[in-house]
């Protein structure tokens, strides 16, 4: 697929994943039991751009360097956390950050939390 279509696909995938995650978290987890999910339009751009870059990183590390999955995994996870932190800082400065993990243990500035580490692996 052309780059723009992959960006749109990745963006929509992340956008919908976040809606489903918040729905199930509210229904079954520590949420309020509501049967609704939510996200922000910014998540489309955040997921779309991150996935697009991670795809390029995959091609470089796997095909050019021959790294195994286990060798690439920490790079991906660190990149995703740095990406989320960067977007969170920028959005927070504009008053548009839609997430706050400050009530979770192992959080940094309320913008990232190690609680979600299993989901990124």
Is residue 21 predicted with pLDDT exceeding 80?
yes
At 50 the pLDDT is 93
How does pLDDT run across 27-69, given as a tens digit for each residue?
887 666 667 888 889 999 999 999 989 999 999 999 999 999 9
- Residue burial 67-81, b: 16+ Cβ < 10 Å; e: rest: eeeeebeeebeeebb
Q: Containing domain of residue 9, as a range?
A: 3-120
How many domains does the chain fold into? Answer: 1
Give this prediction's pTM.
0.84
The C-alpha atoms of residue 57 and residue 22 are separated, in whole angstroms, by 28
CA atoms within 13 Å, Cβ hemisphere of 96: 9
At 9 the pLDDT is 95
């Amino acid at each position: 697929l052309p780059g723009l279509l992959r960006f749109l696909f990745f963006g929509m995938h992340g956008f919908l994943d976040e809606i489903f995650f918040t729905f199930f978290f509210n229904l079954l987890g520590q949420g309020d039991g509501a049967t609704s999910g939510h996200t922000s339009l910014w998540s489309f751009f955040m997921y779309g751009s991150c996935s697009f870059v991670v795809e390029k990183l995959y091609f470089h590390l796997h095909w050019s360097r021959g790294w195994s999955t286990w060798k690439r995994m920490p790079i991906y996870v660190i990149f995703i956390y740095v990406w989320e932190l960067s977007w969170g800082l920028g959005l927070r400065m504009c008053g548009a950050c839609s997430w706050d993990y400050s009530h979770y243990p192992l959080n940094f500035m309320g913008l990232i939390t190690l609680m979600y580490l299993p989901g990124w692996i």
